[in-house]
Amino acid sequence: MPQAISFTQHDHADCTDDVLKRAEKIALSKGLRLTEVRRRVLEILAEEHRALGAYEVLDRLNAEGYGSQPPVAYRALDFLVTHGLAHRIRRLNAFAACTRPAENHAPVFLICASCQKVAELSGTAAANSLRQEAKALGFSIERMSLEAAGTCPACEKDNS
């Protein structure tokens, strides 16, 4: 999947299908159960290309007959995040599908402040630099992500 795909014109159906196929392959290789609800939550996240709060996901699940209790969404989201199929965007207290689920990466999120679309970049260079600086201080980084807020190309165009 190209970098920052959510900010480009593309076929959302193909994009979503690609995310789901890779998730199914990962689940199979790791012996994980990608239940119908977990799969649907990942699909919802992939379709949107923006960070969604747990209650937004729950509203979609409820409308589709999966139930209205918060644990339904939270359990699925927790599973997806734990297994690297989705990310929690802390700045927004929301979730987005991982566009690089098979890669060991330190994600960098570009978050549009206007439309809330989220693009995920690899962040390898930034992560390596930060690890080196942290190591020089005797600090060992266990996990990291970087969140940058700004304006996506579509919103920038609308504002000009």
**Using CA atoms, how far apart are residues 130 and 128, in angstroms rounded to an integer?**
5
CATH number at residue 68: 1.10.10.10
- Number of domains, the chain: 2
Average pLDDT over residues 8-24: 80
64 plus 133 within the same structural domain: no
pLDDT at 1 over 50: no
pLDDT at 151 over 80: yes
112 plus 78 within the same structural domain: no
CATH number at residue 136: 3.30.1490.190
16 plus 92 within the same structural domain: yes
pLDDT digits (tens, 9 = 90+) for 70-113: 888 999 999 999 999 999 998 889 999 988 887 777 888 888 98
56 plus 23 within the same structural domain: yes
Average pLDDT over residues 136-152: 89
More reliable by pLDDT, 75 or 4: 75
